[in-house]
Amino acid sequence: MPSIPWLSENSLQFPEIDSALDDPNGLLAVGGDLSPARLLEAYRQGIFPWYEDPQPILWWSPQPRAVLFPEKVYVNRTLRKQLKRERFRITADQCFGEVLDACAALSPKRPGTWITTKMRKAYKQLHELGWAHSIEVWQQGELVGGLYGLALGRMFFGESMFSHRSNGSKLALLGLCKQLQRWGFELIDCQVGNDYLYSMGAEDLARADFKSMLETFAQPTASDASHWTLDADLLDSYE
């Protein structure tokens, strides 16, 4: 097994993502820190941190890459019926910390989490700087679902989602996809695929194609760093 590079805390340089291990998740490097500058540089290159305590920070770049084109999000009949029957409100950046904590919450089915205390602190910093965003789903004033991730250029890098009621996370994803379409975003990075994501329209993209999209669409500018306000009618077109 080839050795994995250890990152220096004094340099933001990452190995080329094509050097990631040839496994489904693509382990690329170990170490470094979770500073805002390093995290932004990582996402810009298609790299993200994923580890659990007491592991060191592990950096990944999967091959293939699970992605979702916002205009291709799939809404099944059950979800459409729910949208006709119940009323929901979608917001952004109203309670980032609460969304983050809900995504990290432990349960009998999930006794551990990769959203460690250090990870939460790091992404809260990115949110304060205007790079990380939360999408919230509300029903009768209660937070029932949501997700969070980063936006760079015209790409959104999804990190995690949660549901406190049936389909809460799906509704957050639907609202996000509609808003991103209106804003001219090209792609949502889903990192590693699973049945849930594929059921919503996600697909696998070869690393070379993903790199090409990063080079074209994930070039952030200072004006990208802001807190989001969403349109009020995002779920209407799905009914």
pLDDT per residue over 51-95, tens digit each?
998 999 999 999 999 999 999 999 999 999 999 999 999 999 999
Q: Clarify whether residues 23 and 10 are in a common domain.
A: yes
Q: Clarify whether residues 150 and 108 are in a common domain.
A: yes
Burial class for 206, CB neighbours closer than 10 Å (0-12, 13-18, 19+): exposed
Q: Clarify whether residues 145 and 173 are in a common domain.
A: yes
Residue 29, strand partner residues = 59
Q: Clarify whether residues 24 and 128 are in a common domain.
A: no
Q: Clarify whether residues 81 and 38 are in a common domain.
A: no
Residue 87, in any domain of the structure: yes
Domain count, the chain: 2
* CA max distance for the chain: 55
Q: For residue 13, give the nearest of 51, 54, 44, 52 by alpha carbon.
A: 44
Q: Clarify whether residues 38 and 110 are in a common domain.
A: no
Give 224 or 184, the one with higher predicted confidence: 184
What CATH number corresponds to the domain at position 15? 3.30.70.3550
Residue 35, in any domain of the structure: yes
Residue 226, in any domain of the structure: yes
Q: What is the pTM of this model?
A: 0.95
Residue 1, in any domain of the structure: no
What counts of helices (H) and strands (E) characterise the chain?
Answer: 7, 11
Q: Clarify whether residues 58 and 125 are in a common domain.
A: no
Boundary residue ending a domain (45, 62, 79): 62
Residue 174, in any domain of the structure: yes
What domain range includes position 24?
6-62
Q: Clarify whether residues 125 and 143 are in a common domain.
A: yes
Residue 20, in any domain of the structure: yes
Residue 210, in any domain of the structure: yes
Distance between start and end Cα atoms, the chain: 51
Q: Clarify whether residues 177 and 72 are in a common domain.
A: yes
Tens of pLDDT, residues 170-210? 999 999 999 999 999 999 999 999 999 999 999 999 999 99
Q: Clarify whether residues 188 and 214 are in a common domain.
A: yes
Q: Clarify whether residues 113 and 134 are in a common domain.
A: yes
What CATH number corresponds to the domain at position 157? 3.40.630.70
Q: Clarify whether residues 170 and 108 are in a common domain.
A: yes
Distance from C-alpha of 168 to C-alpha of 170, rounded to nearest angstrom:
5
The least confident of 108-122, 138-152, 163-177, 222-236 is 108-122
Distance from C-alpha of 133 to C-alpha of 223, rounded to nearest angstrom:
15
CB burial string 99-122: b at 16+ within 10 A, e below? bbebbbeeeeeeeebebbeebbeb
Residue 145, in any domain of the structure: yes
Tens of pLDDT, residues 61-71? 999 999 999 99
Residue 24 has pLDDT above 90, yes or no: no
What's the pLDDT at 181?
A: 97
Boundary residue ending a domain (62, 85, 107): 62
Boundary residue ending a domain (40, 62, 84): 62
